[in-house]
């Protein structure tokens, strides 16, 4: 069981931004990267992502595992894309520049390589900001920031509850799983797949029941404290926007605008160097 | 009025805890199969939450839980996150057909549940996830068909086994309406 990424406390310009800023930034930034396929825009976004990462004082050790995992995911996807459609790039860019024929219907084509490169860059442009978002945002600030950008505070509270109870559910899971294993219920590869699925139900059932109990307890406690009585609420961790916050949001929207402007210039989402 | 507000607080908490469960099970109990596709036990759990608490809880728990899983790996794959939310939503719509609160979960309900989950998975993975992947990443259709068929069948099988088992067990913990008899 590998540890999931979570908040790392540090004192840096990125950490000092409010949660809302980082949330808006991450959202707008990933929207910009989702829209465009222009290599130049994506490359600039990636470079900016690295600069922001340097500013956050986080180290390579903090993200190494996540980056390797994402790279592995991208590689698997690229291989699958190539295997199923080796000429996808040709149909997108409209030209065909063959480098070398491999076998059967597979050959190395510049257009396909360029498409796969852009596919990778789309992720590269988002990964640094996604990592920054998850590593530098204090979870208790999360609900407040969601509320600030217009999400109902009740939904914000759901997210806060999810973040608050993940460690508890995880501990429950570990305890139940060990108790069931002691009774001979096996989840490892020694059992058949169908048996493993059935066995997992034996672990999941106590977990679901204990979670349902938890829901009762928490919702009763919240009701006793009058949760949801008023339309608005205040937050203990809410911070006012500073100049840096406006600057960060400005940069994110600038990226979105540039991404859209380049779409107009290119006459589509693709930058085509082949014609 | 009082009762209504209780329901909403309960669903807020159910969304949060459901998302936490989805996260823990999806993040730590996954068996990889093919191109970021895993045998996902979390959909069995999500379907149970949808049927107990309804479409809103299902959709939001799926959305939040899946976003957290993806963020914990470092990058969100929005098309699949939205598909998870849609799955929770569709399963929640069958809440009316299955009276799980009163412990009714016989052969009829089992078949309703499984037909519903097959339809829901088909809509999510074959329609929603694939079309969003084409839209966002311009992926090739044949790769997506392969990928989504694998995701679809893996999820259908796991939901059929895990979801049905969980609901059967849950139904037994509920008191059936009219289960008490007056002694002579």
Q: What is the pLDDT of residues A212-264, one digit of tens each?
A: 999 999 999 998 998 878 878 888 877 888 898 899 999 999 998 998 888 88
Q: What is the dihedral of CA B6, B12, B16, B19, to 10 degrees?
A: 110
pLDDT at position B25, please? 86
Alpha-carbon gap: A246 to the closest alpha carbon of chain B (Å): 24
Q: How many CB atoms lie within 10 A of CB A71?
A: 15
Lowest mean pLDDT among A33-42, A102-111, B145-154, B174-183: B174-183
Two tokens, residue A179: 């108790």
d(C-alpha A105, C-alpha A89), whole Å: 14
- Cα gap A48→A96, rounded to integer Å: 33
- Report the pLDDT value the prediction gives residue B5, as an integer from 0 to 100: 45
Report pLDDT digits (tens) over B96-127.
888 787 777 888 888 888 888 898 888 888 88
Nearest residue of chain A to residue B77 (CA atoms)? A123
Q: Answer yes or no: do A227 and B9 touch at CB < 8 A.
A: yes
Q: Give the per-residue pLDDT at A4.
A: 61
pLDDT band at A3 (very low <50, low <70, confident <90, very high): low
- The Cα A219–Cα A231 span in angstroms is 18
Average pLDDT in chain A: 83
Question: What mean pLDDT, rounded, does chain B reach?
Answer: 81
Which residue is listed with tokens 């099970």? B25
Delimit the domains of chain B by residue range. 2-173
Residues 6+ apart with CB under 8 A from A51: none
Instruction: Indicate the pTM of the whole model.
Output: 0.81
Task: Please judge whether A34 and B136 are an interchain contact, meaning their C-beta atoms are less than 8 angstroms apart.
Answer: yes
Helical axes B107-121 vs B164-173, angle rounded to 10° = 140
- pLDDT of B3 above 50: no
Cβ-based neighbour number of residue B163 at 10 Å: 26
Tell me what the mean pLDDT of segment A144-165 comes to.
85
Q: Do A133 and B170 touch (CB under 8 A)?
A: no
Contacts of B173 in chain A (CB under 8 A): 209
pLDDT above 70 coverage of chain A, percent: 95
The tokens describing B11, both together, are 């669903």
Contact criterion met (CB < 8 Å) for B74 and A130? yes
Strand (E) or helix (H) holding A69: helix A60-84
Residue B74's pLDDT is 63
Contact A204 B25 (CB under 8 A): yes
Q: Phi, psi (5° rounding) for residue A45?
A: -60, -40
Q: Residue A108 pairs with which residues in a beta bridge?
A: A100
For residue B165, the chain A residues in CB contact (below 8 A) are: 198, 201, 205
User: Which residues in chain B are closer than 8 Å to A5, comparing Cβ atoms?
Assistant: 71-74
- State whether A161 and B16 contact (CB < 8 Å): yes
Note the pLDDT tens digit of each residue in A162-180: 888 888 888 898 898 889 8
Q: How distant is the Cα of A16 from the closest Cα of chain B, in angstroms?
A: 21
Confidence of residue B30 (pLDDT cuts 50, 70, 90): low
Q: CA-CA distance, B40 to A227, in Å (whole number)? A: 34
- In chain A, which residues have their Cβ closer than 8 Å to the Cβ of B72? 4-6, 134
Confidence of residue A47 (pLDDT cuts 50, 70, 90): very high
The confidence band for B18, taking pLDDT boundaries of 50, 70 and 90, is very high
CATH class of B2-173: mainly alpha
- State whether B78 and A84 contact (CB < 8 Å): no
pLDDT tops 70 at residue B180: yes
Which contacts qualify for A198-205: CB closer than 8 Å, 24 or more apart?
A198/B161, A198/B165, A200/B29, A200/B41, A200/B162, A201/B44, A201/B161, A201/B162, A201/B165, A201/B166, A201/B169, A203/A173, A203/A176, A203/A177, A204/B25, A204/B41, A204/B44, A204/B45, A204/B162, A204/B166, A205/B165, A205/B166, A205/B169, A205/B170
CA distance A135 to chain B (A): 9
């Amino acid at each position: 069981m590998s540890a999931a990424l979570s908040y790392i406390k540090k004192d840096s310009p990125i950490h000092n931004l409010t949660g809302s800023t980082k949330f808006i930034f991450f959202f707008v930034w990933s929207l910009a990267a989702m829209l465009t396929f222009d290599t130049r825009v994506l490359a600039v976004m990636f470079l900016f992502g690295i600069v922001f990462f340097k500013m956050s004082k986080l180290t390579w050790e903090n993200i190494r595992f996540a980056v390797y995992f994402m790279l592995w995911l991208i590689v698997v996807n690229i291989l699958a894309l190539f295997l199923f459609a080796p000429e996808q790039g040709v149909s997108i860019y409209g030209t065909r520049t063959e480098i070398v024929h491999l076998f059967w219907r597979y050959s190395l084509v510049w257009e396909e390589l360029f498409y796969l490169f852009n596919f990778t860059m789309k992720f590269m442009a988002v990964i640094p900001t996604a990592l920054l978002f998850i590593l530098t945002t204090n979870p208790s600030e999360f609900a407040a920031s969601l509320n600030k950008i217009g999400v109902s505070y009740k939904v914000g509270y759901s997210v806060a509850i999810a973040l608050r109870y993940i460690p508890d559910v995880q501990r429950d899971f570990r305890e139940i799983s060990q108790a069931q294993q002691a009774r001979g219920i096996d989840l490892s590869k020694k059992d058949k797949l169908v048996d493993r699925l059935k066995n997992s139900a034996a672990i999941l059932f106590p977990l679901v029941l204990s979670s349902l109990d938890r829901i009762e307890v928490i919702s009763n406690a919240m009701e006793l404290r009058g949760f949801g009585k008023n339309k608005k609420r205040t937050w203990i961790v809410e911070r006012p926007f500073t100049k840096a916050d406006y600057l960060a949001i400005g940069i994110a929207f600038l990226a979105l605008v540039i991404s859209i402007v380049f779409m107009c210039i290119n006459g589509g989402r693709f930058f085509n160097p082949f014609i | 009025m009082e009762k209504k507000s209780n329901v909403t607080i309960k669903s807020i908490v159910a969304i949060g805890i459901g998302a936490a469960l989805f996260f823990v099970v999806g993040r730590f109990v996954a068996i990889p199969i093919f191109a970021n596709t895993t045998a996902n036990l979390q959909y069995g759990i999500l379907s149970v939450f949808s049927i107990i608490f309804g479409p809103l809880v299902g959709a939001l728990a799926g959305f939040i839980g899946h976003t957290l899983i993806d963020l914990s790996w470092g990058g969100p794959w929005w098309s699949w996150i939205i598909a998870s939310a849609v799955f929770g939503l569709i399963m929640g719509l069958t809440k009316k057909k299955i009276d799980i609160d009163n412990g009714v979960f016989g052969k009829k309900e089992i078949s309703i549940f499984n037909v519903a989950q097959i339809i829901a998975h088909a809509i999510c993975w074959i329609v929603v996830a694939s079309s969003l992947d084409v839209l966002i990443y311009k992926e090739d259709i044949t790769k997506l068909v392969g990928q989504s068929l694998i995701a679809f069948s893996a999820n259908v099988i796991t939901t059929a086994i895990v979801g049905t088992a969980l609901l059967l067990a849950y139904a037994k913990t509920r008191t059936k309406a009219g289960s008490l008899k007056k002694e002579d």
